[in-house]
Amino acid sequence: GYLDPQGYRYEGADFHEYMNSGWTFPDGTRTGPSSKQAGNLDCSGYTRMVYGYHMGVPLAAGADTSGLRIPRKSRDIANHAPGVLVDRTDGSRPPAAAQLQPGDLVLFNADSGDDNPTATVDHVGIYLGRDAAGKRRFLSSRKTVNGPTMGDLGGPSLLDGTGTYATTLHTVRRI
């Protein structure tokens, strides 16, 4: 995919842009292919590709508060995705790790310029379970050039320890 001047993938690419194909959403909104975004995939686009495109969970064209379709942005997924809210930070504690199950959506307030722990969610991933070392791992797509990955370029994809994602876990949802 195309890279911006800093060498990062362009942000804002949904699953259909990544695949360079058009898509018609349940509300009738039709999108066309986007050659500029082909091969790029943001975090919510990745989540929508896995659960919507591959698993058939209905997708919203944009913001959607119905709870019936996966919204386009991670902050809306945190509040309005189908399924159940497993846990959410109250500002003094992170969501309960013991409740996590593989496949849960893990949503983060990972923007380093924002030090409010209950502020807007800005990243989403899919919890994988424990790795061979017993660490809790998730998979997501980030703006670093490695795209959808559990690799640690741009920050460890771990929910344990003191790294960015371990300390900024905000919401857990189960679709």
Q: Are 138 and 125 in contact (CB under 8 A)?
A: yes
pTM for this model (two decimals): 0.85
The angle formed by the CA atoms of residues 95, 98 and 167, to the nearest 5 degrees, is 40
Quote the Cα angle for 101-120-13, to 5°. 80
Domain that holds residue 39: 15-174
Question: In this predicted model, which residue has the larger pLDDT, 148 or 15?
Answer: 15
Burial of 46 (0-12, 13-18, 19+ CB in 10 A): buried
Residue 104 lies in a domain: yes
- Residue 47 domain-assigned (yes or no): yes
Q: In the predicted model, what is the mean pLDDT of residues 86-103?
A: 90
Give the confidence band of 54 by pLDDT, cuts at 50, 70, 90.
very high
Is 45 among the domain residues? Answer: yes
The stretch 7-12 carries a mean pLDDT of 54
Residue 49 within any structural domain of the chain: yes
- The pLDDT-based confidence of 1 (bands split at 50, 70, 90) is very low
Q: Is residue 2 part of a domain?
A: no
Q: How many domains does the chain have?
A: 1
Terminal C-alpha separation, the chain: 29
Looking at the chain, the whole-number percentage of residues with pLDDT higher than 90 is 49
In a domain, 7, yes or no: no
Q: Give the pair of three-digit tokens for residue 153.
A: 């370029």
Q: Is residue 111 part of a domain?
A: yes
Give the pLDDT confidence of 24-38 residue by residue, as tens digits. 998 899 988 877 777
CATH no. for residue 19?
A: 3.90.1720
What are φ and ψ of residue 165, in 5° steps?
A: -75, -35
Contact 20, 33 (CB under 8 A): yes
pLDDT level of residue 151 (50, 70, 90 thresholds): low
- Residue 8 covered by a domain: no
